[in-house]
Chain A
Amino acid sequence: MDKYKELFYNETEEHLELINNSLLELEQDPEDGELIDQLFRSFHTIKGMAGTMGYDKIVEISHKLENILAEIRQGEKKVSPGLIDIIFKGVDTLELLIAGEEVGISDLLQQIDAAGSSGGGERPLARPLSITLQEREEKALEQAEELGKVVRDIKVTLEDDCVFRTLRADMVINKLLELGEIVVTIPRGELQDEALRNGFRLLLVTQAEEERLEAAINSISEIKAIDITEFNLADFLSAAEESDQEVVEAPQGRDERPAEEDKEEDDGNRSISTIKQQLTRTNSIRVDIKRLDNLMNLVAEMVIKRSQVESVGLKHNLKELNKELKSLGKVTNAIQNEVMQMRMVPIGQVFKRFPRLVRDLSKELGKEVDLVIEGEGTELDRTIVNEIGDPLVHLIRNAIDHGIEDKGKVKLVAYHEGNNVVIEVFNTGRPLNPGQIKEKAVEKGLISEAAAGNLSNQEAIKLIFIPGFSTSSEVSDISGRGVGMDVVKNTIESLNGSIDVKSGKGGTSFILKLPLTLAIIQGFMVEISQQKYVLPLKMVREIVKVGRDELVNIEKGQVIRLREDVIPLVDLRGVLKGVGEWGEEKLPVVIVESGEDLFGLVVEKVSGQQEVVIKHIDEEADQNHFLAGATILGDGKVALILDVDKIINNGGGVTLDG
Chain B
Amino acid sequence: MYHNKDEVQVKQKKLIGFRLAENLFGLEILQVKEIIPLPEITELPNTDKWIKGIINLRGNIVSVVDMREQFSYPVEITKETKVIIVEKENKLVGLIVDEVVGVISMADSSIDERIKNIDAIEKKYIKALGKLEDELMIILDVDTLLTYEKEERNIINSQLQ
Distance of A428 Cα from B43 Cα, bound (Å):
53
Q: Which of A6-14, A541-549, A629-637 contacts B (4 or more CB under 8 A)?
A: A629-637
* Cβ contact within 8 Å between B63 and A636: no
Q: State A577–B46 Cα separation when bound (angstroms).
A: 8
A434 → B minimal CB distance (Å): 40
Query: How far, in Å, is B10 (CB) from chain A's closest CB?
Result: 24
Given contacts A297-B59, A632-B59, contact A620 B51 (CB under 8 A): yes
Contact of B42 among A297, A616, A618, A630 (CB under 8 A): A630
A620 touches B56 (CB 8 A): no
What interface size band does chain B fall in? Answer: 20 to 34
Verify A636–B46 contact, CB threshold 8 A. Answer: no
Q: Does A311 contact B (CB under 8 A)?
A: no
Are A626 and B45 CB-contacts (below 8 A) given A620-B51, A638-B61?
A: yes
Q: B75: CB under 8 A from chain A?
A: no
A630 touching B146 in the complex, CB below 8 Å, given contacts A531-B43, A575-B45, A615-B61: no
* Known contacts A620-B51, A621-B51, A636-B56, A627 near B44 by CB under 8 Å: yes
A624 nearest CB across to chain B (Å): 5
Report the separation of the CA atoms of residues A632 and B54 in the bound assembly, to the nearest whole angstrom: 11
With A615-B61, A630-B61, A638-B61 known as contacts, the answer to whether A621 contacts B56 (CB < 8 A) is: no
What 1/0 mask marks residues of chain A from 275 to 293 whose CB sits below 8 Å from any chain B CB? 0000000000000000000
Contact of A637 with B56 in the complex, beta carbons under 8 Å = yes
Contact between chains at B61 and A617 (CB < 8 Å): yes
Which positions 591-649 of chain A face chain B at CB distance < 8 Å? 615-618, 620-624, 626-627, 629-630, 632, 636-640
Contact between A624 and B40, CB atoms less than 8 A apart: no
Q: Is B42 within 8 A of A624, CB to CB?
A: no
* CA of A530 to CA of B63, assembled, Å: 20
> Distance in Å from the Cβ of B161 to the closest Cβ of chain A?
16
A264 to B43, CA, bound (A): 64
A637 to chain B, nearest CB (A): 7
Q: For A617, give its contact among B43, B48, B54, B146 (CB under 8 Å).
A: B54
- Is the Cβ of A301 less than 8 Å from the Cβ of B59? yes
Report the minimal beta-carbon distance from A99 to chain B, rounded to whole angstroms: 21
Residues of B within 8 A of A483 (CB): none
Taking the closest CB of chain A, its distance from the CB of B93, in whole angstroms, is 8
Q: List residues 120-154 of chain B with CB under 8 A from any CB of chain A.
A: 146, 149-150
Tell me which of A620, A626, A630 contacts B46 (CB under 8 A).
Answer: A626
A638 touches B54 (CB 8 A): yes
Residues in chain B near residue A640, CB distance under 8 A = 42, 44-45
Chain A residue at minimal CB-CB distance from B59: A297
Near A by CB (< 8 A), chain B positions 45-70 give: 45-48, 51, 53-56, 58-61, 63
Interchain nearest-CB distance for B146 vs A (Å):
6
Of A620, A626, A636, the contact of B146 (CB 8 Å cutoff) = A620
**Are the CB atoms of B44 and A615 closer together than 8 Å?**
no
A622/B60 in contact, CB under 8 A: no
Residues of chain A within 8 A (CB-CB) of B46 are: 575, 623-624, 626
User: Is B91's beta carbon under 8 Å from chain A?
Assistant: yes
A639 CB contacts on chain B under 8 angstroms: 42
A-B pairs, 8 with minimum CB distance: A297-B59, A621-B63, A638-B42, A301-B59, A576-B45, A615-B61, A618-B63, A624-B46
A-B CB contact pairs (8 Å), 18 listed: A297-B58, A297-B59, A297-B60, A300-B59, A615-B61, A616-B61, A617-B44, A617-B54, A617-B61, A618-B91, A621-B47, A621-B53, A623-B48, A627-B44, A632-B56, A638-B56, A640-B42, A640-B45
Interface residues of B (CB under 8 A from A): 40, 42-48, 51, 53-56, 58-61, 63, 91, 93, 146, 149-150
